[in-house]
Chains A and B, each alone.
Chain A
Amino acid sequence: MSVATARPLHRSDKLLYYSLLPFASIIVATFILLFIVISYVSFPAIRRYGTSILTATRWAPNEASPESSVYGLLAPLFGTLVSSTIAVILALPVAVSVVLVLEEYAPQRLREVIGSIIELMAGLPTIVYGLWGLEVLAPMLRKHVYSPLHELLGFIPLFSCRPITGFNLATAGVLLAIMILPYMVAVARDAYRSIPFIYREAALAIGATRYEYARIMLGLARPGIIAAALLGFGRAAGETVAVALVVGNTPYVGACLFKPAYTVSSLIANQFANANLYPYMMNVLFFGGLLLLLIGMVANTIAVIMIEKVRKRLA
């Protein structure tokens, strides 16, 4: 549209534009349809439960009297936000370091090897991460990280509860961090690469050390790095299978990271198959889906604005 309004199109351009228009329209229409359907199906849940859907922590289907079932999404929503935040906090420094190593320090051959490993990581099916998290990561973290942390720093609320098992919020966060790392590296690397050569030359010309040079470059790419963090957050929030395997799947809201918890997407994965047998459960699950969609939209919108900022700053 911006092209169309910016300047008059040549005749053949116009033809091309109109012939391509339908394909772009499919995406817009699909998204709007998706949004409408999800909202439509979740509406009965909102009408039935009102705001308690967001404030209640209980997930208590009751078969003896289905009408008195209680469905609250607060615990899974909390779990989604916390585990995704942990994931971003853990993955961001690593992603930035990886970008610096790849772009500035590593020799060409190592760069290629690391690059292809990252691509491979991005392409692995999520269930593989989940099973690995279940069998290797969770027991290992519990023994070598959580237990010492609890014993040394138990007075901090985050580590205040005893890690009875390795299946908890913290493990979900760590696993998600590993899973979103490749995406964050890709976005941050693009931002870093888009810094024009002039700036690099200028930084080197004023006699900056390697460290100072890296700091200047990272400063220029900062909005892009923030965008990487937000996109990573969006991905982490939507992750289903892997999280359902390690998060412990029990509704929990509290400060401690070593308790089993829930996420919205793992709740949907767990409950969807038989939700039809309960009144309103399907609607509540769809409402959870709507929340995920909204979280994703907010994160992506801010990320797009940030990327735009990088472009403007460096143009």
Chain B
Amino acid sequence: MVKLRGIGIVGEQALMLVLFIVIGLLLIDIVLQVVCCIYSGRGSVEQRQGIRLAGSGSTFIYPQMQEWIKDFERMYPDILVTYNPTGSGTGQAQLLREKVVDFACSDPPLTKEQYQQYKGEILQMPIIVGAIAIVYKIPGYDGPLNLTGEVIAKIYRGSIKYWDDDAIKSLNPKANLPHAEIKVIHRSDSSGTTAVFTFFLHKAAPDVWPSSLVGKAIEWPVDATGRGLGAKGNQGVAEYFKELDSAIAYVELGYALENNFSIAAVMNREGVFVEPTVKSMQAAISSAIKAGLLPRSPLADWSGALDAIVYAPGKDSYPLVSFTFMIVWAEYPAQKAEAIKKFIEYINTVGQHQIVEGYAPIPTELQEINLKALDIIRGR
């Protein structure tokens, strides 16, 4: 130990601590640099062998994306696609702000402000249709159930407490509904599913469900009654639902089908009770396009898309449908541009025939709109 005269033990210890921190920081820096070198070195090896497309974002589309990637890589073995289900928000941030991925999938499209900021540089394509099922469990009754947006909104506000409430009875005159308390399950994590669900409630019953209660994560009024429960992810909702004897929940259609939950028929804009099927999901999108509610180019502002397809016109339309968007840049390095074009072309043609249960392919009108991206994306 070097003798440091005159500064005393305390000074000496402080000096040591500073030394400690400086050395530690230096070492961390060195380690990071080495890791970076190795990492970028590996990248260049891969570039020689093929092209790598990295994506991240929506967890909702993950099972479908895995299926697509598997199939796509069979067709184009020299293109390696990875997809990381980090959540829509993180996906957007990783593509736009951090620029660490080549494409993002997001359940909500870019907001108007974001769109203005990236206008012309960013393309958005709805690549899959999803639906949200309202599932129910009523003690002593397993027949069909009709629900309206207003009744669902009141249940989630906490003002309808029992299954034999007059409002539910009048929609289901033939059903034998018991006086059982409704336990209300919602998502606890921030989710596109919640956004679609709450948006539907607002559109169908604006008096009961104000716009301040619309979003990916909201403050649930029913929680104040003690009958509300938050569960993480679709999986969590399904697990909670299975455990309870009397409950209502909203989940992605795939989870409802996989678990054989009872799915309610929901009244659409025209007053018809519709169950979620591939047909009724696609009907909603097609009517929105026919009504001129959706844009006709990937370069356009898609921020109003949810408004267009949720609670859409048309007597066959299921009211709780959603999109997942693929978001890409308009410009890439030359090789990458070719690869991403191939991937987009695949998804909007062959890929639409490889659909996992619970999702629906986008209607052909939309495929044509999406394929315009191939002429827009350019290499540099």
Contact = CB atoms under 8 A, between A and B. Distances in A.
Interface in B170-229: 181, 183, 188-191, 195, 211-212, 214-220, 223, 226-229
Nearest to A138: B243
Interface string A260-271: 100000100111
17 contacts: A5-B12, A9-B1, A14-B1, A22-B24, A25-B23, A26-B27, A28-B24, A59-B219, A60-B218, A61-B217, A134-B240, A164-B181, A244-B188, A260-B226, A273-B189, A273-B190, A274-B88
Given A29-B23, A273-B59, 7 more contacts: A24-B20, A29-B20, A29-B24, A61-B190, A61-B219, A252-B223, A275-B190
B20 A25 contact: yes
A250 B93 CA distance: 27
Contact of B24 (A14, A27, A64, A260): A27
A249 interface: yes
Interface in A5-37: 5, 8-9, 14, 21-22, 24-30, 32-33
Instruction: From B27, B189, B220, B227, name the one whose CB has the most chain A CB atoms within 10 angstroms.
Output: B189
B87 interface: yes
A162 B227 CA distance: 10
B355 interface: no
Contact of B28 (A5, A30, A62, A161): A30
B159 to A, nearest CB: 17
Nearest to A167: B229
B130 interface: no
Contacts of B19: 25
A124 interface: no
B232 A270 contact: yes
Interface string A122-148: 000000000100110011000000000
A252 B93 CA distance: 32
Given A64-B211, A271-B190, A277-B89, A4 B27 contact: no
B36 interface: no
B291 interface: no
B350 interface: no
A182 interface: no
B28 A277 contact: no
Interface of A: 1, 4-5, 8-9, 14, 21-22, 24-30, 32-33, 58-65, 68, 70, 131, 134-135, 138-139, 161-162, 164-167, 244-245, 248-252, 259-260, 266, 269-278
Nearest to A248: B229
A42 B166 CA distance: 49
A274 B25 contact: no
B23 A21 contact: yes
A9 B88 CA distance: 58
A27 B20 CA distance: 10
Given A135-B239, A165-B244, A260 B190 contact: no
B150 to A, nearest CB: 20
Nearest to B223: A250
A64 B111 CA distance: 11
Given A164-B183, A260-B226, A277-B88, A25 B232 contact: no
Nearest to B190: A274
B108 interface: yes
